[in-house]
Amino acid sequence: MECSKVKKSSQNVRVAVNIRPLLTPELLLGCTDCITVVPGEPQVQIGSHAFTFDYVYGNMGSPSTTIYDDCVAPLVEALFHGNNATVLAYGQKGSGKNYMMGTNNSGEGSNSGVIPKAMESIFKRIDSLKESKEFLIRVSFVEILNEEVFDLLGMDSSSSNAKPVVPAREPLKIRETKKGDITLDGVTEEEVKTKKDMASYLSLLCFLAHQNPSQGLRRNPIWIRRK
């Protein structure tokens, strides 16, 4: 898990390791932990090799429940000061990425992952500032598949009660603006006004992220929020 643009940090990127506990089927097979957390240090040891990170969670390190407060809450706060922020979950299949990010559930009424918790924090902050400031929030949902970027957020505009549909499989073009910003040309951006609106898009994200990819290729879904 990488957390970039932590407020007032001398580092642009911070890396946190979350060690998933062994699941029941793994325990029944006799699997054991191969990673040892160095007590009192953000460091893990695998055999004779030691690796140091900014944070280590799980397996007797810091409790995983503090990941959001430590790594993500400062990024959400930084958004309201004009900064950009990215939270990236990286790991092999079955390592708990979807669970940690909150893209393994419907999103409605759930605060078990990074994205639902960020949604809650963002709208609470907006409510506290709405008397003096105006906010416009848009979301996009894209995936990287076979080194190409695809737009996964489409709407059927034929009715006012539009329902999300999977768009045509045309790769997006990545462009750089004169200011040096990287953009996805033609990506769908949908406005959200409430936490419920955003939760409905998170439900769509969960649905699309778990569809069987074509030709058995791995999919990497990305949730984008713009303020």
- The Cα 183–Cα 188 span in angstroms is 12
Assess contact for 122 and 75: CB atoms under 8 A.
no
Domain 127-227 = CATH 3.40.850.10: yes
pLDDT of residue 208: 67
Q: What is the pLDDT of residues 102-152, one digit of tens each?
A: 876 544 444 578 888 998 999 999 999 888 888 888 888 888 888 888 888
Residue (of 19, 49, 86, 68) closest to 224 by Cα position: 86
The larger pLDDT score, comparing residue 167 to residue 10, is at: 10
Residue (of 1, 60, 16) closest to 35 by Cα position: 60
Lowest mean pLDDT among 20-29, 53-62, 158-167, 188-197: 158-167
Residue (of 80, 76, 78, 58) closest to 67 by Cα position: 58
Instruction: Give the model's confidence band at 220: pLDDT under 50 very low, under 70 low, under 90 confident, else very high.
Output: low
**Structural domain spans, the chain:** 127-227
Q: Residue 99: pLDDT above 70? A: yes
Residue 140 phi, psi dihedral angles, 5° rounding: -135, 160
pLDDT of residue 12: 83
The larger pLDDT score, comparing residue 70 to residue 213, is at: 70
What pTM, to 2 d.p., does this model score? Answer: 0.76
Q: Is 162 helix (H, G, I), strand (E, B) or coil?
A: coil
3-state helix, strand, coil in the chain (%, to 5): 25, 25, 45
pLDDT of residue 109: 41
Q: What does pLDDT average to over the chain? A: 79
DSSP conformation letters of 83-110: ---EEE----TTSSHHHHHT-SS--TT-
Q: What is the pLDDT of residues 161-191, one digit of tens each?
A: 444 444 457 889 999 888 888 888 888 888 9
Q: Where are the alpha helices (DSSP H) in the chain?
A: 24-28, 67, 73-79, 97-101, 114-129, 195-209
pLDDT of residue 69: 92
pLDDT of residue 14: 92
